[in-house]
């Protein structure tokens, strides 16, 4: 994006915020004093402290299987194991094929399991060291375990397909797994707001992370991107220049 385009976007954001009628907002919406303070500061161009802004920012968290209860985990483990192909019991599948003609198929088979594992356990960011300690990547029944390099190559396969992205290109230990596209998350978030009646409320990004939905623990950057997609569709708008408080346009979604 050019400097001119960035300047234009910034001016458009400021213009949108300046058009907000604070009194009408207070009258029509249930909005906390903390949010009103930030919205007013954005309108008036006042300085906002990091501490004030922090209260509206999404939490930076990495989801894992430990984030769910033992009962939930047990149910998901059964679902995951039921989804596994029979070949996980074959010791030879833990050995990278020597014939290049067979490597692609081997990578595709394992990358599909990484994708299913992330989807079923609702994990958006994986650590390959932790992943290879999980079944079936570590399979005590056949005394086999994928190596770090094997797991790395398997994730690379997902990266090539634009289904994953390394978060640390040099070490390649953490990766964002896109088992569902951000466009789909945007649709689901809006549907949830409509179905629960929250579409008439004002939300901070932090509020969204507390709703215990599958999109609630999206990485912060992705959650912002998902909200931005709804803003671009004209079904929501940012209420502050820092883009941490969002209002859904109820009259445009019904």
When the candidates are 1.20.950.20, 3.30.2270.10, 1.10.3720.10, 1.10.10.570, the CATH number that belongs to 65-177 is 1.10.10.570
pLDDT over 90, % of the chain: 62
- Summarize pLDDT for 85-136 with one digit per residue, the tens: 999 999 999 999 999 899 999 999 999 999 999 999 999 999 999 999 999 9
**Contact yes or no for 245/202 (Cβ under 8 A):** yes
What the block records as the tokens of 77 is 């483990």
d(CA 211, CA 205) in angstroms, rounded, equals 11
The upper half-sphere exposure of residue 108, i.e. CA atoms within 13 Å in the direction of its Cβ, equals 5
Confidence tier at 20 by pLDDT (50, 70, 90): low
Confidence tier at 145 by pLDDT (50, 70, 90): very high
- Summarize pLDDT for 59-85 with one digit per residue, the tens: 665 555 556 778 888 999 999 999 999
Q: Which of 48-57, 72-81, 85-94, 173-182 has the lowest mean pLDDT?
A: 48-57
- The domains of the chain are located at 28-57+181-253, 65-177
What the block records as the tokens of 242 is 């820092």
* 17 pLDDT above the threshold of 70: no
Three-class SS of residue 184?
Answer: helix
- Residue 206: which of 224, 193, 225 has the closest Cα? 224
d(CA 132, CA 117) in angstroms, rounded, equals 12
d(CA 132, CA 174) in angstroms, rounded, equals 12
Q: What is the DSSP letter of 215?
A: T
d(CA 62, CA 218) in angstroms, rounded, equals 8
Confidence tier at 3 by pLDDT (50, 70, 90): very low
- Matching residue, tokens 């300690």: 133
28-57+181-253 shares its CATH topology with 65-177: yes
d(CA 182, CA 164) in angstroms, rounded, equals 12
* Rounded-to-10 torsion of CA 215, 221, 222, 225: 120
Domain 28-57+181-253 is of which CATH architecture?
Orthogonal Bundle (1.10)
- Summarize pLDDT for 146-158 with one digit per residue, the tens: 999 999 999 999 9
In sequence order, what DSSP letters do the residues of 66-114 get, joined into one string? Answer: GGS-HHHHHHHHHHHHHHS-GGGG-GGGGS--SSHHHHHHHHHHHHHHH
Mean pLDDT of 212-232: 94
Which is more confidently placed, 254 or 99? Answer: 99
Q: What's the mean per-residue pLDDT of the chain? A: 84
Report residue 87 CA to chain centroid gap: 31
Q: Please tell me the predicted confidence (pLDDT) of residue 27.
A: 55
d(CA 239, CA 22) in angstroms, rounded, equals 10
Angle between helices 148-160 and 100-120 (to 10 degrees): 80
Q: Please tell me the predicted confidence (pLDDT) of residue 71.
A: 87
């Amino acid at each position: 994006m050019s400097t001119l385009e960035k300047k234009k976007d910034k001016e458009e954001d400021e213009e949108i915020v300046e058009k907000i009628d604070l009194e009408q907002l207070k009258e029509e919406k249930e909005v906390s004093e903390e949010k009103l303070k930030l919205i007013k500061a954005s309108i008036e161009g006042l300085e906002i402290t990091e501490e004030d802004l922090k209260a509206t920012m999404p939490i930076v968290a990495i989801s894992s299987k430990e984030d769910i209860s033992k009962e939930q985990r047990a149910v998901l483990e059964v679902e995951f194991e039921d989804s596994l192909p029979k070949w996980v019991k074959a010791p030879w599948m833990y050995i990278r094929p020597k014939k290049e003609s067979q490597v692609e198929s081997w990578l595709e088979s394992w990358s599909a399991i990484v994708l299913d594992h992330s989807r079923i356990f609702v994990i958006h960011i994986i650590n390959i060291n932790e992943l290879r300690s999980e079944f079936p990547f570590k399979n005590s029944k056949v005394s086999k375990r994928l190596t770090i390099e094997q797991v790395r190559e398997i994730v690379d396969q997902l990266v090539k397909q634009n289904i994953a992205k390394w978060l640390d290109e040099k070490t390649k230990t953490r990766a964002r797994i896109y088992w569902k596209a951000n466009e789909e998350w945007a649709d689901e978030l809006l549907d949830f707001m409509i179905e629960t009646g929250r579409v008439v409320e004002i939300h901070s990004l932090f509020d969204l992370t507390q709703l215990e939905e599958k999109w609630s623990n999206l990485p912060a950057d992705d959650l912002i991107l998902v909200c931005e997609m709804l803003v671009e569709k004209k079904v929501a708008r940012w209420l502050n220049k820092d883009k941490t408080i969002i209002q859904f346009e109820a009259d445009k979604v019904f």
